[in-house]
Amino acid sequence: MPPGRLLRIQVTGRARAGKTTVRNALSLLSAEETAPIDEPGQPDPILDADLVLYILAGSLRPADRRALATVPSERALVLLNKADTIGTRWSDAATAAESHSAALGLPVYPIVAALATRTRAGTLTDADMRTLRRHRHRTDPACTLAPDLFTTPAAGTDVANRQLLLARWALHGVACALAALHHDPALSPCSLLQILHSASGIDPVHHELHRRHELTSAPCRS
């Protein structure tokens, strides 16, 4: 890539993989979001950018393999989005990412882009903290497996507060916040937000993007 030229990035993947959310989570406003891979009746987009962010959501399919086979490994970065929907623990998503990585011969990063976007744009309000502290004793993973389990009237009269909390931070964010506050009830909103940001898995992707950018933009030496 000629010195001084901006890195050209494409964000791609199958429909509903979360391409736009990932783009926002990484603040890649100048990145190109392609048409979906494997769209019925449509050709796959040409993946020819300096860096291709390939977004997976769930299982690896033949269309994903076919598309990634057209991209040199040094120009591909694979993100397993919606990692919070894989199994019941982060280790389940990490195992899935390792399996996909072995199949593709590429590193695969598990992330929850929706949570990363929330931590970039939002703050934990006093109302959020009051609701979280009120329910920090609910350490059973089952209580955050589904919205209706977390907002059940059986857990108290603050149903509306819990619904608002879910609308702002989603189940994965709420579950991580409850676990953190159960461990340390004195956490400040700022510290808890940092924990949630880390729980999104987005930081390793930021670091890898920075590394790829430096490698790609470095002047060639004879």
Residue extents of the structural domains in the chain: 9-112+201-217, 120-198
CA distance 221 to 216: 13
pLDDT of residue 214: 80
9-112+201-217 — its CATH code? Answer: 3.40.50.300
- Predicted confidence (pLDDT) per residue in 40-50, tens digit: 999 999 999 99
Look at residue 220 and tell me whether its pLDDT is greater than 70: no
Helix (H, G, I), strand (E, B) or coil at 16: coil
Look at residue 141 and tell me whether its pLDDT is greater than 50: yes
CA distance 213 to 73: 15
pLDDT of residue 221: 46
Burial 2-41 (b: 16+ CB within 10 A, else e): eeeeebebbbbbbeebbbebbbbbbebeebebbebbeeee
Helix (H, G, I), strand (E, B) or coil at 112: coil
DSSP state of 79: E
pTM, two decimal places: 0.90
With tokens 């623990």, the residue in question is 89
